[in-house]
Amino acid sequence: MKQQIVDCMLVMMLDGCVGQVLAAIEESLSTADLAIIRHSVLSLVSVCAPPWSEAFASRVCRLLGHERVRDGFKAARDRESLASALHRVAQAQPALEQTIQTLLANGSAAR
């Protein structure tokens, strides 16, 4: 997956193809370059502003818990950028704050 494709996929999400795009991202995790995974996740969290539906939040949290996503955010600067983006989501949607705090504390989103 290339960065331009990821950017196009995010535009598709904004046009309503959320489930299909999330499925495509999930399917590509095993073979995608870690830099592309980081770009995908950070762009997703930044572009898809809260409030998030319960179903969308669940899919994003599952994505954040994927081993390849955790691998992509091992570097401290990458963890910080993800944590910062997730904290903005938690501030905007307090119902997700506990889930996000748990992901960050357990290392599911950033190990």
Q: How many CA atoms lie within 13 A of 67 on its CB side?
A: 2
For residue 110 the two structure tokens come to 């950033």
Per-residue model confidence as pLDDT tens digits over 2-42: 888 888 998 999 898 999 999 999 999 999 999 999 999 99
Residue 111 lies in a domain: no
Task: Report the number of distinct structural domains present in the chain.
Answer: 1
Indicate the pLDDT class of residue 106, thresholds 50, 70 and 90.
Answer: low
Residue 37 lies in a domain: yes
Domain extent, residue 41, equals 3-106
Q: What is the pLDDT of residue 90?
A: 84
Residue 80 lies in a domain: yes
Residue 42 lies in a domain: yes
pLDDT value at 44 more than 70: yes
Between CA 96 and CA 4 the distance in angstroms is 30
What pTM does this model have?
0.78
Residue 58 lies in a domain: yes
- What is the torsion angle, in degrees rounded to the nearest 10, for the CA atoms of residue 78, residue 79, residue 83 and residue 84? -40
DSSP state of 94: G
